């Protein structure tokens, strides 16, 4: 026996509400997970920030604060797989798993992008001192 049209309408409404609520729960559940990922990245970041300063490109080492997550993870992957060459960065990238790399990327993306360094620092990196630009040259 099939449910009446009225019952089918109620079942469809209940299903739509359940689907909407499940999506809302996923969004809300994602926020604490995202916060935890950023917090983990912050804990891991001290090794990075000992060389990568947040005040512009000093000594030819580009800043990574404010770097988009995809740019950061792509750069680390390129170092890990030998597509970019820098012995220190290759070693660091190879020591991190994907979760750690994602956490660092999430953390650095939350920080403000540093101002462009004027004068000599800009010429050391070919005039490209933004985090994504100078990092791509290393």
pLDDT digits (tens, 9 = 90+) for 7-39: 555 555 565 555 455 444 444 556 899 999 999
Each domain of the chain, given as residue ranges in start order, spans 5-135
Residue 98 has pLDDT above 50, yes or no: yes
Tokens of 26: 């996923």
CATH architecture label of 5-135: Orthogonal Bundle (1.10)
pLDDT digits (tens, 9 = 90+) for 55-95: 655 678 888 999 999 999 999 999 999 999 999 999 999 99
Instruction: State the pLDDT confidence band at 107, using cuts at 50, 70 and 90.
Output: very high
Confirm whether pTM is higher than 0.75. no
Which residue, among 130, 138, 134, 133, has the nearest Cα to 79 in the 3D structure? 138
């Amino acid at each position: 026996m099939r449910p009446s049209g009225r019952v089918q309408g109620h079942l469809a409404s209940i299903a739509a509400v359940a689907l909407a609520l499940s999506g809302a729960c996923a969004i809300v559940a994602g926020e604490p997970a995202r916060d935890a990922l950023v917090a983990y990245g912050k804990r891991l970041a001290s090794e990075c920030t000992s060389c990568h300063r947040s005040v512009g490109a000093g000594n030819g080492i580009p800043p990574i604060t404010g770097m988009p997550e995809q740019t950061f993870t792509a750069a680390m992957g390129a170092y890990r797989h030998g597509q970019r060459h820098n012995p220190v960065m290759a070693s660091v990238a190879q020591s991190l798993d994907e979760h750690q790399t994602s956490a660092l990327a999430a953390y650095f993306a939350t920080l403000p992008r540093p101002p462009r360094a004027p004068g000599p620092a800009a010429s050391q990196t070919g005039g490209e001192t933004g985090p994504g630009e100078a990092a791509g040259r290393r």
